[in-house]
Amino acid sequence: MAKQTWKPGNSLYPLPAVMVSCRGKDGKDNIITIGWTGTICSDPAMTYVSIRKERYSYDLIKESGEFVINLTTKALARATDYCGVKSGRDVDKFKEMNLTKEEASVINAPMIGESPVNIECRVTEVKPLGSHDMFMAEVVAVHADEKYMDEKGKFSLIDADPIAYCHGTYYTLGEKLGTFGYSVKKKESKAANRKVNKHSAK
């Protein structure tokens, strides 16, 4: 199979497209859409966002040391894009996108009410990396919309129709291919069936 060799670049796709909400020391709130984000540790729960220094939210988060990662959905796709191309210096994104502002429970920052999951974060370290600085943060609280809970209390984010970002385009997720560990379970199941059939044949 022929493959082209490219110069080093960001080719890790798809990415989560999240809306990060924050509050400045002057009390002004803002939302920035982020693609450079992810999990960096499970215990303690830690995440990160990488932001260019020239972005309006950069200084707000650096000053406050706090932010909220709001997961996005198909219904929030337009707002997600808008909050990524418009600057909080010029517009009130909550107002323009008719988003509900809710207060976080631990940190001093707003959450987006329409988001199915809000992750409150407190910055532990800022790493200058070049075009972006990485804000490493500890997760201090998580809020999940009860309408995506089943009768057993299990949360199903897929029911919220989450979106992802890939090479400049937003997508909804596709068909389910399997659950974690299904490749091993499948083999184990076949082996178990062979044992049962062997016993039945005797």
Return per-residue pLDDT of the chain as tens, 202 residues. Answer: 899 999 998 888 999 999 999 999 999 999 999 999 999 999 999 999 999 999 999 999 999 999 999 999 999 999 999 999 999 999 999 999 999 999 999 999 999 999 999 999 999 999 999 999 999 999 999 999 999 998 888 999 999 999 999 999 999 998 989 988 988 985 655 555 555 455 555 5
* Alpha helices (H) in 66-109, listed in sequence order: 77-85, 93-96
Q: String of b and e for 189-199 (b: at least 16 CB within 10 Å)?
A: eeeeeeeeeee
**CATH class entry, domain 15-200:** mainly beta
Q: Please name the amino acid found at residue 133.
A: D
Ranges of beta strands (E only) in the chain are 15-16, 18-23, 29-34, 37-42, 45-52, 66-70, 101-103, 110-112, 117-128, 132-144, 163-166, 169-172
Residue 67 CA to residue 72 CA, distance in Å, equals: 16
Q: From CA 121, how far away is CA 62, in angstroms rounded?
A: 13
Q: For the chain, which residues make up each domain, given as ranges? A: 15-200
Round to whole Å and give the CA distance between 87 and 42: 32
Cα gap 112→76, rounded to integer Å: 10
Strand partners, 165: 15, 170
Place of tokens 């016993």: 199
As a whole number of angstroms, the distance between CA 21 and CA 71 comes to: 11
